[in-house]
Structure 1
């Protein structure tokens, strides 16, 4: 329950409060780590741990913050991928960090949906990002995974706020999710993410990618987050998906509309064809 003061907090107060909480992890991450250690023992590779972190936004953030603390002491390059974070910390520290973390409540449907959406955005970033030789898919994927961390923290520690936003959206009082957040909470959840990123001193590159403006990499990261939201909330028939695919084609001119759409999970051939047809009407080839 929110206390009387919290009911009047703005984004700065919430960022200060949430950024000081102990970061949890998804319970499945602990289970998977123990399975991997039982299977590979001393031969457990860093990339296996990186894949584990890349599927859990809370764990990924916790790992990144610890790795950046180690990096600052050693004056190395900033950490921008899960694998780099694992390499900074080492497998023993990874084990301790994960097993000592509190666990999230996976029975919370709002948190589960938001976490699944973040994971979907990250997977999409890996798939789409592979089609451009001038960017790192792992960096885009990490930013996409962490872009929803503000909302995830709210679901964990102040679920009343995102519930109010969802109710405003469902009732039709607010036409879009971002507007619902502003109408009910007074701020965008993305702004909360960025405020927390500043407090945590996350690498500037990742903060730029999460912000989603200024360059191709940032735009692609934001597009993956938006597409994941549209697919998760509206399914294959969400009216924004064709526009998402058309935008992706402009960013990734070497990929076809068909291939881009096929990377969206859970779609039938008929649904893919329908999205491609509508995206084709929206897509304007770049001028030569």
Structure 2
């Protein structure tokens, strides 16, 4: 794996486009279990499994985008809709031999832990977005949830393809607690991970709606703001429950939903507790274990 810090943004697009996208081992185990009783499961059962794993979600959506016919004028923006198009049999046939993240990173335990933490954080962001969208009576909460799950894909792929650089960014921030993440990314990569994320979405021709919802330049729009708030809150919670940025997150939720900040905190707390019951999926300690006891 290269540690060249002078690759251009375009070089990174090519590099990341050529890697084999894996999935979490727990995801693959659950897929095998569902496949063994495929006569008794539904599209919904399979979609609930896939939505835990941003890598498998990406793999599925990219597959559909490559397979789409010229007559298909409308993007498919959710896992459920892709599954309806390819069928459960098609899904297991195309993705049944997906490699595990744990296999790819078996010789790099620090990188494996790093990617597990981000995937767990991405799932929590999706759960927060789902709750916010439900409160807002969003026209299609699943679209916002999917965008939140995929929001930090570039960071996940960096840990997968160049963990040395991802670790450099992490270590830099630990040694310089006053610096912002985008500053460290710019210093080490030459660009921010959000810039890479936006370009990857365009380069891979991901559905335009999902690309738009992940683009933080449009946070004046409530749906984009929902994604941004959910991912920001999950990121800060992953640090600790006393992260100094969390009060701003609660205030942003308060403004979005027209509720009190205390209610916003309660909403996030409840989501974290529910998500914490699925900790085995990611093999990392859930943020719910750190909830302050008053």
TM-score by structure 2 length? 0.84
Is 1:26–1:104's contact at 8 Å kept on the other side of the alignment? yes
* CA–CA distance in structure 2, aligned partners of residues 173 and 30 of structure 1: 37
CA offset at residue 99 of structure 1?
Answer: 1.5
* CA–CA distance in structure 1, aligned partners of residues 204 and 290 of structure 2: 44
CA offset at residue 109 of structure 1?
Answer: 1.1
The Cα offsets for residues 213-259 of structure 1, whole Å up to 9 and x where unpaired, read as: 321101110111111100001x1111111110111111112x44334
* CA–CA distance in structure 2, aligned partners of residues 135 and 232 of structure 1: 29
Once the two structures are overlaid, the 10-residue window that deviates more, 194-203 or 40-49, is 40-49
Pairs aligned (count): 268
Q: Give the corresponding residue for 1:284.
A: none
Q: Give the corresponding residue for 1:2.
A: 2
CA offset at residue 272 of structure 1?
Answer: 8.6
Q: Give the corresponding residue for 1:231.
A: 237
* CA–CA distance in structure 1, aligned partners of residues 260 and 87 of structure 2: 40
Residue 67 (1) aligns with residue 64 (2): yes
Residue 241 (1) aligns with residue 266 (2): no
Residue 126 (1) aligns with residue 130 (2): yes
CA offset at residue 174 of structure 1?
Answer: 6.3
Q: Give the corresponding residue for 1:23.
A: 21
Is 2:241–2:291's contact at 8 Å kept on the other side of the alignment? no
The Cα offsets for residues 260-280 of structure 1, whole Å up to 9 and x where unpaired, read as: 32233155998498xxxxxxx
RMSD: 2.2
Is 1:230–1:238's contact at 8 Å kept on the other side of the alignment? yes
Query: Unpaired segments of 5 or more residues in structure 1?
Result: 274-288
Is 1:71–1:88's contact at 8 Å kept on the other side of the alignment? no
The Cα offsets for residues 168-192 of structure 1, whole Å up to 9 and x where unpaired, read as: 1011176122211111111111111
TM-score by structure 1 length? 0.86
* CA–CA distance in structure 1, aligned partners of residues 203 and 161 of structure 2: 18
The one of 259, 266, 270 aligned to 1:262: 266
Is 1:128–1:260's contact at 8 Å kept on the other side of the alignment? no
Q: Give the corresponding residue for 2:281.
A: none
Q: Flag as ranges the 4+ runs of structure 1 deviating above 6 A.
A: none
* CA–CA distance in structure 2, aligned partners of residues 269 and 24 of structure 1: 30
Higher relative contact order (CA 8 A, sep 6+): 2
Query: Unpaired segments of 5 or more residues in structure 2?
Result: 274-287
* CA–CA distance in structure 2, aligned partners of residues 90 and 257 of structure 1: 43
What SS does the aligned partner of 2:5 have?
helix
The one of 200, 205, 208 aligned to 1:204: 208
Q: Give the corresponding residue for 1:81.
A: 78
Q: How does 1:76-155 map to 2 (within 5 A)?
A: 76-105=73-102, 107=109, 108-155=112-159
What SS does the aligned partner of 2:148 have?
helix
